Chains A and B, each alone.
Chain A
Amino acid sequence: MSHFHPWIDGSIVGLYLLGTMVAGIWVRRYVSKVEHFLVAGREMNLYLGIASLAATEFGIITCMYAAEAGYTKGFAGATPGICQALAMLVIGLTGFCVKPLRASGAMTLPELFENRFGKRVRWLAGVVIVLGGLLNMGVFLKIGGDFLCAVCGWNPDYLVLVMGVLLLLVAIYTILGGMLSVLVTDFLQFIIMSAGLLVVTLLILHHVGWERLEEAVRVNHGEGGFNPLANPTMGWSYLIFQILGNTAATLTWQTTISRLLSSKDAATGQRIYSRTSFFFVCRWLIPVLWGIAALAMLGPAKEGEATLMAMPQFLATFLPIGLMGLMVAAMLAADMSTDSSYMLGWGSVIYNDILAPFRKGRWPEARAIRWNRCIVALIGVYLFVFGLLYEIQGDVWSYLLLSGSVYLSSMSVLLIACCYWKRANSWGAFGAIFGGALVPILFLSFEKMATTAAWAADFGKDNAGIAAFAAATTGMIVGSLIKPRNPDQTAS
């Protein structure tokens, strides 16, 4: 029985939703150009950037898959967070790739690629980014709805209604205010989200206690619950894929780099990266701790039970009235900031790169903004339909990283080659895009087919992810080397 009180907790959630909607809709008056809609006029400063990046990269989906990792793998489940924090820190401090990217003045990655690899590569890169990104975020809404139904004790039959309302609220302010509304609401959502995350974590550490948490990990997972290399479900292939995937995400994930591209200058963008880096440890370790608390209090899952739902089931009875409202508001804040940024992030690539060949000349600002709004609305419809139809096989994080690697592998190879390899050319770019996309798409298809499902399970998502990076790199090197050199370029 959930402790969610309709009036007390409901009022806290209602107050949060009202504040967010008013702020999100109010700033739409500042949107007069497409640059305001997509990159907030490039006026974002350091602390707003930190709030926005942190709020975007933590949603209900993040909390659910990280808590699932804590429940099924113990503390070792937080390994991806450490990998991403290190990648963020190194890239932020050195400016590796992100400095030339921000200095180019591009609004999206494919726009940068056009200068080096041509218009066709820009268009194809846009398609791959959108394909990988939408496949990835398609499951967000359903998992968000599942979480809310579980912690509030609502009938699962209301799932479609919860998903619809959640999407509608996010879509309204994103469609009206674009990146400006996203940034302002991200700021409010970061504060609410952080307050909720910290209060619940302190309550768990106080009431459940460190000894009990540690014992639950030791009894259920042994040494593998503390050390990823000693865990039979992780090991070296898991670690290598996490390092590759998280580094590539830091360099090319559209919602992450859109903060870099919205920043005032390259130096501000780099500071946002380096100062947000430790957040990525918190982003994983805090929900992992919640998952371990669920393991300590509820025990391990029985055969056929969904490990993903253990954490919300635990919170539903652990938190008292009042704090339950704060936690639900915090999770709604986290989810709304993620959904809005993702809708806008992929929408910006569709408008800026995929539709670019169909635009004859520069569109008037009002028309361009209208198109962007329609694209965001269509992504919302897709999210709703995909969320209802698709069923994930295996753990959620592995699915997200693998579907993301459809473009993470090829785009990171393209970006590095574009910035630092003089010999890279359009043939290499096509090779990298096809190689990087083919492996994950084949693997996800094999998983769904009865005849190949067993082979796919044997091969594993981690190996498929590593293979995608290897295929993209091979494609880039071979393609670039076999293309005959332009005599003018050779001479120069």
Chain B
Amino acid sequence: MSTFWHLLVWSCVVWYSTITILVAVRGWKDVVGMLKRLRDAED
């Protein structure tokens, strides 16, 4: 069981690092796009 948890801990570190970078880049585009659509709808 110890090996299972060891692998899971490192999977978390690798997955979480990757998703953080991905979300930081593409999430910013989502924020800008969302605000633009709301502004356009108001106009």
Instruction: Give A contacts to B, CB under 8 Å.
Output: 27, 30, 32, 36, 40-41, 43-51, 54, 75, 78, 180, 183-184, 187, 190-191, 194-195, 197-198, 201-202, 205, 210, 214, 218, 223, 226-227, 278-279, 281-282, 285-286, 289
CB distance from A192 to the nearest CB of B (A): 10
Q: Are A32 and B28 in contact (CB under 8 A)?
A: no
Q: Are B38 and A48 in contact (CB under 8 A)?
A: no
CB distance from A282 to the nearest CB of B (A): 4
Partner of A48, one of B9, B12, B34, B41: B34
Give chain B interface residues in 1-43, CB to chain A under 8 Å. Answer: 1-2, 4-6, 8-9, 11-13, 15-17, 19-20, 22-24, 26-31, 33-35, 37-39, 41-42
17 A-B contact pairs sorted by A residue (CB < 8 Å): A41-B37, A41-B38, A44-B34, A47-B23, A48-B27, A187-B23, A190-B23, A190-B27, A191-B23, A191-B24, A198-B17, A202-B13, A226-B1, A278-B12, A281-B11, A285-B5, A286-B12
Q: Are A41 and B41 in contact (CB under 8 A)?
A: yes
Most B Cβ at <10 Å: residue of A47, A50, A201, A227: A47
> Which A residues touch B22, using CB under 8 A?
47
Q: Are B1 and A40 in contact (CB under 8 A)?
A: no
Q: Are B42 and A40 in contact (CB under 8 A)?
A: no
CB distance from A73 to the nearest CB of B (A): 12
Partner of B27, one of A51, A75, A223, A285: A51
CA distance A75 to B27 in the complex (A): 32
CA distance A281 to B9 in the complex (A): 9
Q: Are B9 and A45 in contact (CB under 8 A)?
A: no
A210 with B6, Cβ < 8 A, contacts A41-B41, A187-B31, A198-B20 known: yes
CA distance A10 to B22 in the complex (A): 29
A289 with B9, Cβ < 8 A, contacts A198-B17, A226-B1 known: yes
Instruction: Select from chain A the residue with minimum beta-carbon distance to B36.
Output: A43
CA distance A279 to B11 in the complex (A): 11
CB distance from A28 to the nearest CB of B (A): 12
Instruction: Select from chain A the residue with minimum beta-carbon distance to B39.
Output: A30
Partner of A285, one of B9, B26, B41: B9
CA distance A195 to B24 in the complex (A): 11
Q: Are B33 and A45 in contact (CB under 8 A)?
A: yes
CA distance A41 to B22 in the complex (A): 24
Most B Cβ at <10 Å: residue of A49, A191, A202: A191
CB distance from B19 to the nearest CB of A (A): 7
CB distance from B14 to the nearest CB of A (A): 10
Q: Are A205 and B1 in contact (CB under 8 A)?
A: no
Partner of B16, one of A41, A78, A184, A197: A197
Q: Are A184 and B13 in contact (CB under 8 A)?
A: no
Q: Are B31 and A184 in contact (CB under 8 A)?
A: yes
CB distance from A52 to the nearest CB of B (A): 9
CA distance A289 to B6 in the complex (A): 10
Instruction: Select from chain B the residue with minimum beta-carbon distance to A48.
Output: B30
CA distance A454 to B27 in the complex (A): 50
Q: Are B16 and A198 in contact (CB under 8 A)?
A: yes
Q: Are B2 and A282 in contact (CB under 8 A)?
A: no
A27 with B16, Cβ < 8 A, contacts A45-B30, A210-B6 known: no
Q: Are A50 and B27 in contact (CB under 8 A)?
A: yes
> Which B residues touch A279, using CB under 8 A?
16, 19
Instruction: Select from chain B the residue with minimum beta-carbon distance to A223.
Output: B1
CA distance A207 to B2 in the complex (A): 19
Instruction: Select from chain A the residue with minimum beta-carbon distance to B25.
Output: A47
Q: Are A183 and B34 in contact (CB under 8 A)?
A: yes
CA distance A44 to B27 in the complex (A): 10
CA distance A290 to B15 in the complex (A): 18
CA distance A194 to B38 in the complex (A): 28
CA distance A187 to B26 in the complex (A): 11
